[in-house]
Structure 1
Amino acid sequence: MTIARVSTFAFSGIEAIPVEVQVQVAPGLPGFTVVGMPNKAVAESRERVRAVFSSLGLSLPPRRVLVNLAPADLPKEGTHFDLPIALSLLAAMEVIPPAEVIGYAALGELALDGAIGPTTGILLAALEAGRLGLGLVCPKAQAAEAAWAADAEILAADDLRVLIAHFQGRQILSPPARPVAAPEARADGPCLSEVRGQESAKRALEVAAAGSHNLLFVGPPGAGKSMLAERMAGILPPLTQREALEVSTIRSVAGLPLGNVLSSRPPFRNPHHSASQAALTGGGPRGRPGEITLAHRGVLFLDELPEFPRPALEALRQPLESGEVVVSRVAAHVTYPARVQLVAAMNPCRCGHLGEAGRECGRAPRCGEDYRAKLSGPVLDRLDMVVGVQPIPATELSRAPAGEPSAAVAARVAAARERQRVRWGEDGPRTNAEAPIAALQPSISADAMTLAEQAVERLRLSNRGFVRTLRVARSIADLAGEAAVERAHVAEALAYRQR
C-alpha cells in the first residue's frame, strides 16, 4: 500500500487554507475515488487526470485509488485541484520520487493533453506557501503573478510532461525572474482641465480625495456630475507596495488578470444601477467578492444612485462603516475587505429638472421628495459630503478657459495624504476618513470645536455626522498645510453636510 502527499490550498475570502492531497493506491477492485467534501468541479478532476495519464502513455494501476482532501470537513471547490491530484498520484505510482514533491504546494487546471491552464488565487497561494516554507508549482502563464511572493520557490510549467521531467531530474526548470516593483506611470485618463467652470464641485472633489471621504453629487442631467466623478481616479495618490499587493490579491481571487506589473493605480469600479445586492457586496453560491471588495483601496462610483435596488444600497451601510463585508451563505461564510471611497451621483428628481421653471414635471415638488425618499437616512448619513452641481450656461461653457489639470490637483492631494501619514503613523489610520474622534480632537482648536458642537443642534446631525464633519475639516486643513483645524475649516466642512 502506497500513500503520497502534495499540498495545495482552498480559498475562503482572501484567506488561503492549506489542504493536503493524500493519494493511496491499495489492493482492491479498480476504482478512482475523490473524498473530502469536493464540489462537482473537484470530483470531475478524476476524469481529467485519467485522460491526461492516457495522453502521457500512462495507465492507472489496476488497484483501488483513493484521493483524500484533508481536512475532510472543509468544502473544496475549483479546478486548481487537478494538478496536485495528478502530482500526488504520480508520486504514489513512483513515476516521480515522492520525496521530491513533499515540499511543494501545487495549483493548476489540466487540459486533456496535459497542458496546465491558469486558475484563480495564484498570488494568494504563493504568499501563503512562502509563509509556510513551501515551494509553489503553478501554470507558466501565471509565473509573474506568483513571483511577487518573494519567500516562495516557484516552479512554473505549461505542461505536466515538463514537471515530470523536472522531478525526475531530466530537465531542471529555472525559477521565474523576480519582478521589480516600479512606480506605474499615471494613465492618460480623463483630466480635470476638461471640466469648465464648476469650481465649487472641483473643490469638493479635491477635499474628498485628500481624506478619502464619501461624496455625493446632486444636479440635473448634463450638469457634469459623472464627468467630475470619473476624474477622481486621476487625482488620487498611487498605492503603496503593500496596498498594491493587497489589491492584487483580491483581483487574483476574483480571477481578474494581473499582468506582469504590480499596479499602483487605485481601483475604480463603476457598476450599472441594475446591479444586484450580491453583485455589490458579494455572494452567489460560492461567495464571490462583490464590487465593493473589488474597489478596495480605491473608488466605488455609483451613478444614478436612487435607481439602484434599495436592498443593495442598504447592504452597503455596514461595509462603508466597518471597512469589511461578511458574505454568509449556506455553504460559505467569508469576510472580504471593503475599505472604499464611495462617490455617487443623482438627479434631484425622476425627471431631473426640479426647480427649473418650464421644465419640471407637473408633480413638482412632490416628485423630488419621492425620488429622494428612495435613499434612506442611514445611507445618506454615511456620505461625508453632498454637493449640488448646477449646469453651466452655454456662453460660459464655450468661452471659459481650461481648468486646472489633474496633475496639479493630484500634487496637492498627495501632499495632504503625506501629512496624514506622518500624523497617524504607519500603524494608524490610513486616511482622515478612518480616524477616530479621539485622534482628531487634539488638533482641533477650541473655537472650531464650539462651532461644530453648535452645528450638531442646529443641523440636527447624528453623532456619526458630527465625527465625519470633523474628519472633512481635518482634510481641509491638511490641504491648506495647517497643523490645527480652525473655525473656517469646520465651516466649509459643514457646508458639505447639506441635505
Structure 2
Amino acid sequence: MLVKVFGSAVFGVDATTITVEVNMEKGIGYHLVGLPDSAIKESSFRIAAALKNNNYHYPGKKIIINMAPADLRKEGSAYDLSIAVGILAASGQLKSEEINNYIIMGELSLDGGLQPIKGALSIAIKAKEEGFKGIILPFQNVKEAAIVEGLDVYGVENIVQVINFFEGKEEIQPTKIDSKEEFNKSLEFPEFDFSDVKGQESIKRCMEIAAAGGHNIILIGPPGAGKTMLAKRLPSILPPMSMQEALETTKIHSVAGKIKEAGLLTQRPFRSPHHTASSVSLVGGGSYPQPGEISLAHNGVLFLDELPEFKREVLEVMRQPLEDREVTISRAKFTITYPSSFMLVASMNPSPGGYFNDPDAPISTSPAEMQRYMNKISGPLLDRIDIHIEVTPVPFEKLAETRKAESSVEIRKRVTQARIIQTERYKDFEHIHYNAQMSSKLIREYCALDEMSLNLLKTAMERLNLSARAYDRILKVSRTIADLEQSYSIQSHHIAEAIQYRSLDREGWLG
C-alpha cells in the first residue's frame, strides 16, 4: 500500500515542501531513499521504539520510503513524525483521508513525545502559500508558526495525539495568535536605557545620528570609558520594527533554532560575538549552511567589541555583506542567500595598552606597536564605517550627578521622525529605507551642496587625504544630521559636524 505524507525542508530562510512516500509490500527490509542524512536514516530506531511504547506495532514487511524531490538533500530529525504517520497509514493502523491536507513535522522521542524543530515559521509560510489546510508540529513551536494567519496550526505533545486527531478521537484546537497585538506590545521600558549613562553627551549625539540614518559606527577609547555600555543601549533608540521586519527577523532566528517558545520577535536583535569567532560563525556557512551572526543581527545591531582582536581574515569577510546587505553562501550543488542588513557597532582601545597619547597612562605604547595594532584593521573595512568617534573617560563631577539623563524613549522619538522623512524620500526605491543605504546615484540626487559646504568638504578631503568612499560617507551622515533637524537641504554646519566623525582619518591621530 502506498501512502503520501507531506513534510518540509528549510534551505536558507525559505522552506520547500517534501513528499514522504511510504510503500509497504510483502517481504523484509527497510529502504530509505531521497538523499537523507544520518539523522533521518536513524529515524527507524526512534520510530520503532515510539510506536511500541504506545501500543502500536512496527510492521515486519518490506518498507520503501522515498523523500521527494529525490535530488534535494534532506537533513535533521524533524521528519520522524512524517515518516511515522506514513508507516502507520500504510500498514492500516491509521485510517484517515485528512492526512494529505496537512504538513506534519516533529522529532520523536523513544516514548512518543515530540521535540522542537527549526524553521517552523518558514514551514508555516510555505504551507499557507501551497494551500494546505493546516500544519501539525511540536507544541514548543506553535507560537512562531501561529504568526501566519489563514492557516490552522496544531501543537501536539506526542504521536498518540496526532493519531487520535486524524481518527477523530481527540479534538485539538488550533492555536491563534494576534500578531498585531504581539507586535504592539509596549517598547517604552527598554532593559538598557540611555538615561543610565552619565555624561558622554557628544557620544550620545553620535549614537542618535547613527540610529537615525542606520550608519555603522566605531567607538575608540581607553578601558572603562563606557564603549560597551553605550553600544548595548543603541537598540533602545532605534525605531520600532515594522511588521515586515519583525517577520524577516523571526524567520532567520527560527531557521537557526533561536526562537525557543517565543512568538514574533518585536525587539531589534543585538548580537555580540566574541573576538575568537571564526569566519563561518560570523557570516554563516558549514556543511549544511546555517545563518551566521551577521544574519542573526538582521534589522538590528552587530556589536564587535575590541575590533583589532578579531582575526583579520574574519573581519575581511564582512566587507561584501556590509555593502550588499546580504551574504551568499555557495556550495557545489546549491547557493543560499541570507539577508544581513544590520548596523555595525565596533569598539576598540586606541592602542594595545589602551592609553595611547595619555601622559598619565599606566602602560606606554611605542609608535611602532601602535602601527602594528592599527594595521589589524584594513582601510577598506574602516571606509565602510560611516562614523568614527573618540570616547573619553567620564569626569567625576558627571559620575556624581544625580540628575537623570535624557531617556531612550525621548531620543527614539527624534530618530523615528528622521526615519519617517527618509522612508518618504525613498518610497519609490526598493530595498532602500534610510540614508546609509543610499547608492552613489542617490547621493548625487539627495545630497546636493551649496558653494560654502562644497568648499568646506573640499578642504577636508585634501587635508585628511580621504578616499572616495569616505567622501560618500560624509555626505550620507550630513544628510542624516539635516533630517534630524528636519532641514530640506544640507547646510555647511551639517557637513562640518559630519567631518568631525572621521577620527581615524585625521592626520596625526597616530601621534
TM-score by length of 1: 0.94
Matches within 5 A, 1:27-42: 27-28=26-27, 30-42=28-40
Superposed counterparts of 1:63-462, under 5 Å:
63-97=61-95, 99-134=97-132, 135-182=134-181, 183-186=184-187, 187-329=189-331, 333-359=335-361, 361-399=363-401, 401-425=403-427, 427=430, 429-447=432-450, 448-449=453-454, 451-452=456-457, 455-462=460-467
CA distance in 1, matches of 2:499, 2:199: 23
In 2: Cα distance, 1:348 partner to 1:87 partner: 62
Q: Which moved more, 1:233-242 or 1:482-491?
A: 482-491
Tell me by how many angstroms 1:429 deviates: 1.1
- The one-letter code of the counterpart of 2:465 is R
Deviations 1:179-208 (Å, cap 9, x if unpaired)?
342313224422222222222111111100
Q: Supply the distance in 2 between the matched residues of 1:343 and 1:353 (Cα, whole angstroms).
A: 21
Is this contact kept in 1: 2:140–2:261, CA < 8 A? no
Aligned to 2:509: none
Q: Decide whether the 8 Å contact of 2:356 with 2:365 is kept in 1.
A: no
Structure 2 residue aligned with 1:44: 42
> 1:396: Cα distance to partner?
4.2
Q: 1:75 deviation in Å?
A: 1.0
Deviation at 1:420, TM superposition (A): 1.2
User: Alpha-carbon deviations, 1:69-124, whole Å to 9, x = none?
Assistant: 11111111111110111112222123333631112211101111211221111111
Q: Secondary structure at the match of 1:80?
A: coil
Q: What is the aligned partner in structure 2 of residue 5 from structure 1?
A: 4
- What residue number does 1:475 align with? 480
Is residue 287–residue 329 contact of structure 1 (8 Å, CA) maintained in 2?
no
Measured on the aligned residues, the alpha-carbon RMSD in Å equals 2.0
Shift of the 178–62 alpha-carbon distance from structure 1 to 2, 3 Å rule, reads same
Aligned equivalents of 2:126, 2:488: Cα separation in 1: 42
Matched residues in 1 for 2:81 and 2:333: separation?
24
TM-superposed deviation, 1:214: 0.3
Q: Offset of 1:377 from its aligned partner?
A: 0.8
Q: What is the rounded CA distance, in whole Å, between the counterparts of 1:100 and 1:272 in structure 2?
A: 49
In structure 2, the residue corresponding to 1:178 is in which secondary structure? coil
The amino acid that maps onto 2:9 is: A
Deviation, structure 1 residue 492? 1.5
For the 8 Å contact 2:474–2:498, the answer to whether it is kept is yes
- Deviation of the 1:15 alpha carbon: 1.6
Contact residue 50 and residue 109 of structure 2 kept, 8 A:
yes
Equivalent in the alignment of 1:53: 51
The offset of 1:281, in angstroms, is 1.1
**Structure 1: which 4+ aligned runs deviate by more than 6 Å?**
none
Segment drifting more, 227-236 vs 438-447? 438-447
Q: Residues 364 and 403 (structure 1 numbering): CA distance in 2 closer, same or farther, change over 3 Å?
A: farther
Letter in 2 for 1:268: F
Q: Distance in 2 between matches of 1:371 and 1:167?
A: 65
- Give deviations 1:336-392, integer Å, cap 9, x for gaps: 111110001100110011111142645422222211111011111110000011113
CA–CA distance in 2 between the matches of 1:10 and 1:469?
Answer: 45
SS of 1:342's partner is: strand
Amino acid at match of 2:79: F
Distance 1:460 1:5 in 2: 67
TM-score w.r.t. the length of structure 2 is 0.92
Q: How do 1:484-499 and structure 2 match up within 5 A?
A: 484-499=489-504
Paired-residue identity, %: 39
3-state SS in 2 of match to 1:17: strand
SS of aligned partner of 1:177: coil
Match of 1:18, SS?
strand
Residue 232 of structure 1 deviates from its aligned partner by 0.4
**Which residue in 1 is equivalent to 2:507?**
none
Give the whole-Å Cα distance in 2 for the aligned partners of 1:466 and 1:400: 41
**Residues 466-498 of structure 1: CA distance to partner in whole angstroms, max 9, x if unpaired?**
222221111111110112222221221122123
Match of 1:154, SS state, is strand
Runs (5+) with no aligned partner, structure 1: none
Are residues 409 and 198 of structure 1, via their aligned partners in 2, closer, same or farther at CA, if it must alter by over 3 Å?
same
- Over residues 211-244 of structure 1, what are the superposed CA-to-partner deviations in whole Å (9 max), with x where a residue is unaligned? 1100000011111111211110111111111111
Query: 3-state DSSP class of the match of 1:446?
Result: coil
Question: Does the Cα contact within 8 Å between 1:179 and 1:261 map onto a contact in 2?
Answer: no
Deviation at 1:170, TM superposition (A): 2.2
CA deviation digits over 1:378-434, x for unaligned, max 9?
Answer: 111110000011113324432484422212111111111111112212745121111
**Greater displacement, 98-107 / 478-487:** 98-107
How much has 1:251 moved relative to structure 2? 1.0
Deviation at 1:464, TM superposition (A): 2.3
Question: Which letter does structure 1 place at the counterpart of 2:185?
Answer: E
Letter of the 1:272 partner, please give it.
H
